């Protein structure tokens, strides 16, 4: 069974002044299987951020459907959407979105606290995740006391702790140096190997080449996709780079 099914998504924004309409997505359709690790790429303005916001139920499409594990999230009532998002989805953002007044541990616990979980249960969930991500020694520290790479690993722990059906990552390596980027990408691959489904929006060819499939968005549509198959990271990197060159020069590619 498909985990995420995206059908004919269309998104039109009306500008505040002048009433002009801007079409961010014109007709996006694709599916994600359980356990897949997928990257979405495209030039600025291609619609990939709008797409991610709709998939994450942070925005509503003008037309089309997003079905997560059999549930059409575009029809969920506004008062129910936060709880659904908290239980079913994990999020990793470029700027970490950690609260400086909370310790690393309390930041990770936040979605469980909002769900009414007991402290003992939260600790039981945290220990194996903290060990896997090598953040046991910073749990009592505050975000301003740790490095960017450690902040992002804490954000990954927060995304994982609810055991989500899918993790959405928005430019997760964007604020990291090369060493922290390499560490995070290795962790994402390790997390994916446990069966966790991950969908990542990225500009980074290095990040995309660590995934198993890359979708390219152009002019609000899925323009092309590449499956890793038996390709090495280096081969996939070259293939992604070639496709982005075609995208930038206006060439044609079959989706």
Per-residue model confidence (pLDDT) at position 29: 95
Name the token pair of 45.
Answer: 């303005």
- Reported as a single tens digit per residue, the pLDDT across 36-77 is 999 999 888 788 889 999 999 989 999 999 999 999 999 998
- Reported as a single tens digit per residue, the pLDDT across 153-171 is 999 999 999 999 999 999 9
- Reported as a single tens digit per residue, the pLDDT across 109-125 is 999 988 888 888 899 99
Q: How many other CB atoms are found less than 10 A from the CB of residue 13?
A: 13
pLDDT tops 90 at residue 226: yes
Mean pLDDT value across residues 142-150: 95
């Amino acid at each position: 069974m498909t985990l995420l099914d995206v059908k004919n998504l269309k998104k039109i924004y009306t500008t505040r002044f002048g009433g002009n309409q801007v079409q961010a997505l014109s007709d996006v359709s694709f599916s994600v299987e359980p356990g897949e690790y997928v990257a979405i790429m495209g030039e600025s303005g291609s619609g990939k951020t709008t797409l991610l916001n709709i998939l994450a139920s942070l925005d509503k499409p003008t037309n089309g459907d997003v079905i997560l594990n059999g549930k059409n999230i575009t029809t969920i009532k506004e008062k129910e959407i936060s709880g659904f998002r908290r239980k079913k989805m994990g999020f990793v953002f470029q700027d970490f979105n950690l609260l400086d007044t909370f310790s690393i541990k309390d930041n990770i616990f936040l979605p469980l606290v909002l769900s009414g979980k007991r402290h003992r249960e939260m600790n039981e969930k945290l220990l194996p995740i903290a060990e896997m991500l090598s953040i046991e020694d910073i749990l009592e520290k505050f975000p301003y006391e740790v490095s960017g790479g450690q902040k992002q690993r804490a954000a990954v722990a927060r995304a994982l702790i609810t055991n989500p059906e899918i993790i959405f990552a928005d430019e997760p390596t964007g604020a990291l140096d090369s060493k922290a980027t390499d560490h995070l990408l290795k962790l994402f691959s390790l997390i994916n190997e446990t069966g966790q489904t991950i969908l990542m929006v990225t500009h980074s060819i290095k990040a995309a080449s660590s995934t198993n499939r890359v979708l390219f968005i152009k002019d609000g549509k899925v323009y092309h996709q590449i499956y890793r198959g038996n390709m090495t990271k280096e081969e996939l990197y070259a293939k992604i780079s070639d496709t982005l060159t075609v995208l930038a020069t206006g060439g044609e590619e079959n989706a």
